[in-house]
Chains A and B, each alone.
Chain A
Amino acid sequence: MSDQKTPRKSALGEVKGHIDALATGFKYFVDPHRMTLDYPAEAMELPKNYRGFFRLIDEKCIGCSLCEIVCPSNAIVMMQLPVAQPPAPKAGAQGSQQAGAQPAPRPAPRVKKRPLVDWGMCIFCYFCVDVCPTEAFEPSNIHDLSYFEESEYRPTFEGFLKLPESPSRNSRKVVARLDEKNGIRYEEKGDKE
């Protein structure tokens, strides 16, 4: 049995316990392992696969609505957009990426369905990115976003076609490195990255 008893301390053990605690406290007083990041003056370089904001690649989207169906927080709505030009060559380009099935030429549709994400509702689970059969969402590791006015925040289709600008894009980029002695240290992003 691994039934253990909690240790009891003698009077001498108590003195040792106090001294140990104080000594360790002093050790960290002299050499503190601070891991505070001076954001936004410096910002952490996140891994490439970090689930941040993403954009829609209009040419790749086939308007299948799967992203809307799979969105757990109902942040995606499919919009109906008028088609300006005859979309015949685009439909062909889409079809060749699909599993072999070349769609028969149909009369050009008047509207196209395109998703729109409300970032206020998005939980960044990336179900939509993973469900998209044509990889029409381009993910990024941008995770921070700020606006001055509410009107800037409102989701628009044009806004969804480009990645948002991160407020920390001009900050000094650091990477977190883990050391088995000192814990996480932030280092300047080296050239080898």
Chain B
Amino acid sequence: MTQEIKTVPFTYEALSQLEMKEGILELQIGPAHAGSGHMRILAWVEGDTVVKVDPDVGFVHRGVEKLSEDRLYIKAIPIVERPSLVDTVNANLGYVIALERLLGLEPPPRAQYIRVITAEISRIMSHLYGIAIYGIFMGSSTVFMWAVADREPFIDLLQELTGARITYSHIIPGGVRWDLPKGFADKVEVALRYLENRMKDYEKVWINNPVVMARSVGVGKLSSQDAIRLGVVGPNLRASGVKYDVRKNDPYAAYADFDFEVPTFKEGDSYSRLLIRVEEIKQSMSIIRQALKRLPEGKVIYEDYYKRMSPLMKEIYDKTGRVKFTLMLTSLSPPKGEAISRVEGGRGEMFYYLVSDGGKNPYRFRLVTPSFRNLPYFTHVMPGHKLADIPVIYGSIDYFPPEADR
């Protein structure tokens, strides 16, 4: 990268000196969703060049951690879904894996496969949303409308499986709540083929469009060393050339069984961050197809749990594949200890830390979300660029304020 980033030390003294310096203008972008999405970006510009950027986060903080510590373990499932509403399955999965590690449970293989299928559908939806946000930030409402509308077939799929459009609450400790309905694989195949067809049009209208390339190639570069040093995660890290994916490096659920690539790009600019999402959608499609082809038979909840169900509950499960909650599930009290889990969410690594004191509520719950870890893009990548590049960089990192604020 040719541009040298002007670094201003991040202290209040330095800030006030900066404000007093002649010719420097402080700009407040947001927080009323002025293309910033419930966050404020404080930008100091000299002429048209950004000197310093300070992301002001926390406007949509909802206290997910403390809310969860106040409730039964199972009640935290809908709460952990709420921060990242476009990627709820992965958020749910990470929490449940941490809880299962505390409890010492191992879900049956069919449940693991269903988790992978739903998580990958969720990843496709999240990446489509990321592409949509990138589009609208660069002023193209066409690609925004397209990508948001193309999430609809996948929302419909999960709606048929779980009965909800976004907040599925599908994954519970020990398995999943609903078995796949009949004919689900065929419907998934139709949706995947539709998206494949549609991706060709995306490439023509958006991805290979010279206007987009002129606007984003070389903008917002982050080298691989800097990406590692600053601790960015997910597709943004891989766009900087670092081959790191939790699904490969620390496989969870049934990801070890599947054959998929971790695409990386060398440049680390905004354009490669767009391309990496397109490539990852292709990989997710491949994982879903493999999982549906090799879907094991069996129960979707672990055997011991099934044995403890009442006859009525067993009858319902056998007939419809719906797992009823037993008293055991509602009053989980894991033994004393702590557990961590991490999953590769749509925006990157989600980290969960659960401490149990043997009671019915979590003693401590910690959630580290990928959007928060991608904040260095504001402080370290935006300075040195033109003011008009801020939306491009912001759109390209797929930053989601509610997820960062938790």
Which chain A residues have a beta carbon within 8 Å of chain B's beta carbons?
1-9, 13-14, 17-18, 20-21, 23-25, 27-28, 33, 35, 46-47, 49-51, 66, 69-73, 97-99, 123-127, 130-131, 133-135, 176, 178-181, 183-184
Contact = CB atoms under 8 A, between A and B. Distances in A.
B14 interface: no
Contact of A47 (B77, B160, B262, B279): B160
A157 to B, nearest CB: 24
B323 to A, nearest CB: 7
Given A4-B266, A127-B78, A183-B194, 7 more contacts: A2-B262, A9-B213, A21-B209, A72-B77, A125-B167, A130-B324, A131-B324
Nearest to A25: B205
B289 interface: no
B327 A184 contact: no
A69 B217 CA distance: 54
| Smallest CB-CB A-B distances: 9 pairs | A51-B163, A131-B325, A72-B75, A180-B193, A20-B204, A24-B204, A14-B210, A17-B210, A49-B163
Contact of B263 (A2, A73, A97): A2
Contacts of B77: 72, 125
Interface stretch (B36-44, B150-158, B385-393): B150-158
Interface stretch (B2-10, B292-300, B306-314): B306-314
A24 B217 contact: no
A8 to B, nearest CB: 8
Contacts of A180: 190, 193-194, 197
Interface string B65-79: 000000110111111
Contacts of A7: 208
B263 A130 contact: no
A99 B310 contact: yes
B350 interface: no
Given A72-B71, A123-B78, A130-B177, A2 B163 contact: no
Contact of B264 (A3, A23, A130, A131): A3
A69 B330 contact: yes
A178 B187 contact: yes
Given A72-B77, A127-B74, A180-B197, A66 B327 contact: yes
B298 to A, nearest CB: 20
Interface string B161-178: 011100101000000011
Contacts of B149: 33, 35, 183-184
Given A21-B205, A72-B71, A2 B261 contact: yes
Interface residues of B, number: 66
Contact of B163 (A6, A35, A126, A179): A126
Contacts of A125: 77-78, 164, 167, 169
A3 B266 contact: yes
A125 to B, nearest CB: 5
B291 interface: no
A124 B241 CA distance: 42
B364 interface: no
B210 A18 contact: yes
A114 B322 CA distance: 24
Given A21-B204, A70-B330, A123-B78, A184 B310 contact: no
A66 B194 contact: no
B66 to A, nearest CB: 14
Given A18-B210, A49-B163, A184-B152, A133 B194 contact: no
Nearest to B273: A6
Contacts of A178: 153, 156, 187, 190-191, 194
B275 interface: yes
Contacts of B206: 21
B212 to A, nearest CB: 9
B267 A135 contact: no
B198 interface: yes
A66 B330 contact: yes
22 contacts: A3-B243, A4-B265, A4-B266, A17-B208, A25-B205, A33-B149, A47-B159, A49-B160, A66-B327, A71-B75, A72-B75, A72-B78, A125-B169, A130-B325, A131-B324, A131-B325, A133-B313, A135-B312, A180-B190, A181-B194, A183-B153, A184-B153
A9 B217 CA distance: 11
Contacts of A179: 190, 194
A123 B159 CA distance: 15
A46 B217 CA distance: 43
Nearest to A128: B325
A25 B141 CA distance: 13
A4 B187 contact: no
Given A69-B330, A125-B167, A133-B313, A4 B153 contact: no
Nearest to B276: A4
